[in-house]
Each structure stands twice: as C-alpha cells, then as structure tokens.
Amino acid sequence: MGNSHDRLKVGEGYISGYLSIFFAVISFCGVLCFLFPEILTTPEYRHNYPVEILRGVLLMCLLFSFLFALVSLILCKSKIPSLLATVISGLSILMGGATVEIKQFNDLGFYVSLDWLLLDLLVLALIFIPVELFFPKRTNQSKFHEEWKTDLIYFAFGHLLIQMTAVSVQAPASYYFGSLHLEGLHHFVQALPFLIELPLALLVTDLFQYSAHRAFHRMPLLWRFHAVHHSIRAVDWMAGSRLHIIDVLVTNK
C-alpha cells in the first residue's frame, strides 16, 4: 500500500476492505444485542426500538459487509481484510443473523449500552466517512490513518464508560440531591415549555463543559490528563473521543 501516511485511493481495494470489516463488526455486535438484550441494551431505549426496522438495518450491514468484502477481494493485493470480514459476518449469520430471535428476559439492574454505541457509531460513520473521503480538509491524510484504531478504542470505551457511570451514580446522586430539598426547582423546570427547557438545558450543559474544559487547560494537574486529548496528530471525526478516563468522568458527569 506504500507509506502508511499516504492517502488511501478509491480503486485500491483497501477502503472497501476496511468498510467490510466495519459493517461485519457492527453486524456481529448487533446480533449479540439481540441475543443478550438484558446485558447489552439500554432499558430506556429497548422498549421503544422498532425491532423490524433494526432487523432491516442489521440485514443491510451484513449485505454491505459481503459486498465490500467481494470488492476488496477483487481489487486489493491483501486478501486479509475481505477474509476477516467474511468470517465475522459468517459468524453473525450462524448466530441468527437478521432473523435472530429475542428471548424472554428480566432486567438485571446492570447493563452495558452496546446498542447506543453501535447506533451512534453507525450513524456518525455513514455521515462523516464519505465526507472525509471525498471532501477532505487535508488531502494527504489517509482516512484510515495510523491513529484511527486508537481513536476507535477511545470512542468505544468513552461511550460505554459514560453509560456505565450514569447507571452507577444514579442511586448516590438521588440520595445526595434528594437531601437538598430541590423539589420546588424541579417542578418549576418541568413546568417550563419545551422550547424554553431545551435551550436552557443546552446552555447549562455547555457552560459546565466549558468551565471543566478551561480548568483542564489552566490547572497543571488536570492538564496531565487532558493532554491525552491533544496528543492526536491526525484529526478526523473520531479524534475528539480521545480522552483520559478522568477527563471523561469530569466533563460528562
């Protein structure tokens, strides 16, 4: 493929190979969510999911995986990406594929929001990968640059950590804030019209995140954690997810 810093070109087979692996992994994890919903899906979302639509999305991911794998097999010098994607997609089909049955289950009280991670990753990838491939800011930067695997791990870990932390702090937060007797404030905010609630929530959240971000830049101790975020050399849509665990917990919680 030449220098790893070179930009991938359409027609070499590497882009289709990486995309085939991407859709294969999405499909595999999607099947796992169908098989183990009590562990891998978010209770607030799972009861409102349009299951048949999600089955259709899963089927399309499998088809795209095989299609891109075939293109990569024909065009690419390396056959590893297409073969790896085919194996992963094959396992997804053996586990039930888009027709996998959802068993009866009970809430366990603890879950990992793999469903939210998959949907968020899929939607963002479908938006930003084509934009960065065909309308790049830096024409010499490959879409699948040296750091993309690292950023993908940070993206996944950050999403799952936020959800797991939200679950773990619900009880302590309810206990602590319940003792502050803020019911009047709660009722006042809940009574506001939605068109006021939404910008107000965005404003408060943004002010808090700005204050936390500024503190991470100005305080030497916090900067040691935040420096991870600024260690990125190849900036793309996933780069913003490279955050230290302390940074994730303080900024998002």
| pLDDT, position 1 | 41
The pLDDT tens digits of the residues spanning 118-127 come to 988 889 888 9
Q: For the whole prediction, is pTM greater than 0.95?
A: no
Q: Within 13 Å and on the Cβ side, how many CA atoms surround 222?
A: 14
SS3 214: helix
The pLDDT tens digits of the residues spanning 145-176 come to 677 778 888 888 877 776 666 655 555 556 56
In percent, how much of the chain has pLDDT > 70?
84
pLDDT band at 132 (very low <50, low <70, confident <90, very high): confident
| pLDDT, position 170 | 57
| pLDDT, position 29 | 95
| pLDDT, position 244 | 84
Contact 136, 98 (CB under 8 A): no
Q: Which tops the pLDDT comparison, 24 or 76?
A: 24
pLDDT band at 46 (very low <50, low <70, confident <90, very high): confident
Cβ-Cβ contacts under 8 Å for 235 (sequence gap 6 or more): none
| pLDDT, position 93 | 96
91 has pLDDT over 90: yes
Q: What token pair was written down for 233?
A: 């050399």
Nearest Cα neighbor of 243 from 74, 77, 222 is: 222
- Find the mean pLDDT for residues 58-62: 96
| pLDDT, position 88 | 96
Contact 139, 7 (CB under 8 A): yes
Q: What residues does each domain of the chain span?
A: 14-143, 162-252
Q: Which tops the pLDDT comparison, 97 or 164?
A: 97
The whole-chain average pLDDT of the chain stands at: 83
Q: Maximum Cα–Cα distance for the chain, whole Å?
A: 67
Q: What token pair was written down for 166?
A: 């939200």
